Amino acid sequence: METIPLLPLTTVLFPTGKMPLQIFEPRYLDLISSSLKNDSGFGVVWLRDGSELDQPGSEPRLAQLGTLARVVDWDSLPNGLLGITIEGTDKFRLISSHQRDDKLYMAEVEWVEPEPYIPLPEYSDEMAALLAQLLDHPHIARLKLSPVVDDIATMSHLLSQLLPIDEKIKFELLAITDPLLRMEQLMDLLDEYN
């Protein structure tokens, strides 16, 4: 087990996925500063209930599965806030968590075994075309995601990250450890929308 700082969000982060964030709370500014200075990561966990902001009397409910994140880009935004882009790496299970005096969450985590490398099968051409369309979108292109995807785990993670689906469903997709099953679930979801 390892202890890492947490950044609870109302969105789900996947391995290889990227996400832009605006940081303004002192506890998270300190977290990002420390992460950049020490070249270390932090855990992103989905908030099942509650707010990303520290609100007295409201106890957020954290998901028991998360993704280690690293800051891959940062900038001062015109509104004066710190803008960062994070990228997901490894999944972890949350064993226990607590808040420090500065309200930053810390957690004991257990790392989830990396998913196996499975080359893209022939039936994935349609999904590859969909991913290429998503990567061309101006908002997504700014994230500078790699257009070269040659395995099911990476493709299913990126599609899960980028498709406009409910966060509860995204979390269920994150919890799947078999990339072929995740891809099947995504295909079923897309069939429902068509």
Residue holding tokens 């280690």? 68
Q: CA 110 → CA 32, 88, 138, 155, 172, distances in Å?
A: 22, 16, 36, 24, 19
Give the model confidence (pLDDT) of 64-96 as tens digits.
Answer: 999 999 999 988 878 877 889 999 999 999 999
Statement: residue 56 has pLDDT above 70: no
pLDDT band, residue 20 (cuts 50/70/90): very high
Q: CA 189 → CA 57, 112, 123, distances in Å?
A: 37, 25, 16
Residues of the chain with CATH 1.20.58: 122-193
- CATH class of the domain at 2-111: mainly beta
Please tell me what DSSP assigns to residue 109: E
109 or 191, greater pLDDT: 109
pTM higher than 0.85 for the full model? Answer: yes
What does the radius of gyration of the chain's CA atoms come to, in whole angstroms?
Answer: 17
pLDDT band, residue 57 (cuts 50/70/90): low
Once rounded to an integer, what is the mean pLDDT over residues 155-163? 96
Once rounded to an integer, what is the mean pLDDT over residues 159-165? 95
pLDDT band, residue 52 (cuts 50/70/90): low
Residues of the chain with CATH 2.30.130.40: 2-111
Fold of 122-193: Methane Monooxygenase Hydroxylase; Chain G, domain 1 (1.20.58)
